[in-house]
Structure 1
Amino acid sequence: MTADAWVPPPVLVAVDLVVFTVRGSELHVVLIERGIAPHRGVLALPGGFLRDAEEDLLAAAYRELSEEVGLTARHVHLEQLGAYGTPGRDPRGRVISVAYLAIAPRLPEPVADTDASAAGWVLADFALSPAARLAFDHRRILADGVERVRTKLEHSTLATAFVGPTFTVSELQSVYEAVWGVRLDPRNFYRKVQGADGFLVPAGPARRATPGRPARLFRAGPSATIRPPLTRPIGPADQEATS
């Protein structure tokens, strides 16, 4: 086939969002209930098609984040997770989805948009379980998002995206426990995060959350990586994934 005879195939481009937060010491993800076909009434990740040929992928991700979760660029950590384009993943045609990972602390209740009949926070473990039915290939996308976060918590300072501008070591430990699905020894965790160069820096006076000694406040330090890294213990979630 000559170059003049080649006709580009019709391809639609979408963005999907894996939005995480920690609620009640457990990792939660935003899921919507689809209000339109295909997969009407089935749970799915929020997202949608690009509005037009001029819309940038990142701009589309922020737009969907604002419309469906009520978040702006100032409040969220957003990074590209991956591209998903297996033929047949969407019955409407050849659709390539670029997925984004979004993380922020204390996120509000999501609001269903015009294509969704409901939206809410769901335990990530439940969303990945056989009891939950997810549309398209969103279970795979969600699983990739969970593993991305679990892995990055070992060698990057991503955990600070789950907490506020200032936080205690105990609050940071709760993030690790929620994402990794394990219990950590408080003294050992405190020693490790304090020993990681540039991970945390002191931030103001101590906070008295419970009777007893006030907890010291910290904020994210200048480093984006953790040296030495924190090693993820083998927990129930890892055992289930490898069994």
Structure 2
Amino acid sequence: MTETPIRASKHAPIFVTVDLVIFTVRQDVLQVLLIERGNEPYFGLPALPGGYVRDGETLDQAALRELSEETGVDGRQLHLEQLRAYSEPERDPRGRIITVAYLALGPDLPHPVAGTDARAAHWTPVASVLDRVSLAFDHSDILCDALERARSQLEYTTVAAAFCNEPFTVGDLRQIYEVVWGVPLDPSNFRRKVTHAEGFLVPTGERRYPDIGRPATLYRRGPARLLVPPLLRSGEAAHASLCL
């Protein structure tokens, strides 16, 4: 018996966007860049910045363009990495839209500039978003994934230095870990670990002289990208990292 081939059905068009989770530390608080949507769907609701990938663009090029349009910052000067793709069929009411999310990290980034399709753009404390702010689309899920990626990166890579303006002290770096992980760290134990991690910190030969207290050695980021040995979170820090 000869089987009759099944005719392939026509597929709805699939569009690709990039969304950006941009973290910075401002006033000793981990903050994320949110926009206020100026178009439907979800008009007026907060969302992550992003947009469609244009013809002739790679994903990375689209992410860099959107980052520049939303913050005025050259993404090549930041830590920028691809987080993951989100492809739930019903994630966007406009149709079949797959988004590739990016994580960007930078030190005390400037006030953002709203893009063409946003009514406003502003830095918002991550904790307040997780507690009580509903984001458009599936952006709350993307934010949670990005937060855990950032926290995990601090364990195994030297990316924490991307939050610091150079030169910086060990105390400045510890503050980044405490803000991102959400727990206080023992200063002596932290200093020992980061100064002994191969290629993490390079002394500049200078010191910072505070009004009160001892002078602090200044460092810049070293050539290493992986932390050896890793700086693992304690049980308390791991629990604080749960995104509910």
In the superposition, the TM-score normalised over structure 1's length comes to 0.93
Q: Give the match for residue 31 of structure 2.
A: 28
Q: Evaluate the alpha carbon distance shift between residue 239 and residue 74 of structure 1 in structure 2; reply closer, same or farther with a 3 A threshold.
A: closer
The answer to whether the Cα contact below 8 Å between 2:15 and 2:97 also exists between their aligned partners in 1 is yes
* Per-residue deviation, 1:239: 4.8
Q: Per the alignment, in what secondary structure is the counterpart of residue 114 of structure 1?
A: coil
The answer to whether the Cα contact below 8 Å between 1:50 and 1:57 also exists between their aligned partners in 2 is yes
Q: Give the match for residue 71 of structure 2.
A: 69
Q: Evaluate the alpha carbon distance shift between residue 48 and residue 229 of structure 1 in structure 2; reply closer, same or farther with a 3 A threshold.
A: same
* Per-residue deviation, 1:86: 0.3
1:105 and 2:104 equivalent?
Answer: no
Letter in 2 for 1:204: G
1:126 and 2:128 equivalent?
Answer: yes
Of the candidates 19, 43, 48, which is equivalent to residue 16 of structure 1? Answer: 19
CA RMSD of aligned residues (A): 2.0
Instruction: Report the identity percentage.
Output: 53
Instruction: Indicate the larger mover: 218-227 or 208-217.
Output: 208-217
Count residues with an aligned counterpart: 241
1:90 and 2:92 equivalent?
Answer: yes
Q: Give the match for residue 43 of structure 1.
A: 46
In the superposition, the TM-score normalised over structure 2's length comes to 0.93
Q: Give the match for residue 55 of structure 1.
A: 57
Q: Evaluate the alpha carbon distance shift between residue 174 and residue 213 of structure 1 in structure 2; reply closer, same or farther with a 3 A threshold.
A: same
Letter in 1 for 2:77: H
Q: Evaluate the alpha carbon distance shift between residue 21 and residue 3 of structure 1 in structure 2; reply closer, same or farther with a 3 A threshold.
A: farther
Letter in 1 for 2:47: A
Q: Evaluate the alpha carbon distance shift between residue 240 and residue 76 of structure 1 in structure 2; reply closer, same or farther with a 3 A threshold.
A: closer
Q: Per the alignment, in what secondary structure is the counterpart of residue 20 of structure 1?
A: strand
Bigger Rg over Cα: 2
Letter in 1 for 2:242: A
Cα separation, 2, equivalents of 1:241 and 1:77: 23
Letter in 2 for 1:93: G
Cα separation, 2, equivalents of 1:228 and 1:236: 18
* Per-residue deviation, 1:56: 1.1
Cα separation, 2, equivalents of 1:92 and 1:219: 46
Letter in 2 for 1:51: R
Letter in 2 for 1:215: A
The answer to whether the Cα contact below 8 Å between 2:45 and 2:135 also exists between their aligned partners in 1 is yes
Instruction: Indicate the larger mover: 88-97 or 198-207.
Output: 198-207
The answer to whether the Cα contact below 8 Å between 2:181 and 2:237 also exists between their aligned partners in 1 is no
The answer to whether the Cα contact below 8 Å between 1:27 and 1:178 also exists between their aligned partners in 2 is yes
Letter in 2 for 1:188: N
Structure 1's consecutive aligned runs of 4 or more residues displaced over 6 angstroms after TM superposition are 1-4
Q: Per the alignment, in what secondary structure is the counterpart of residue 191 of structure 2?
A: helix
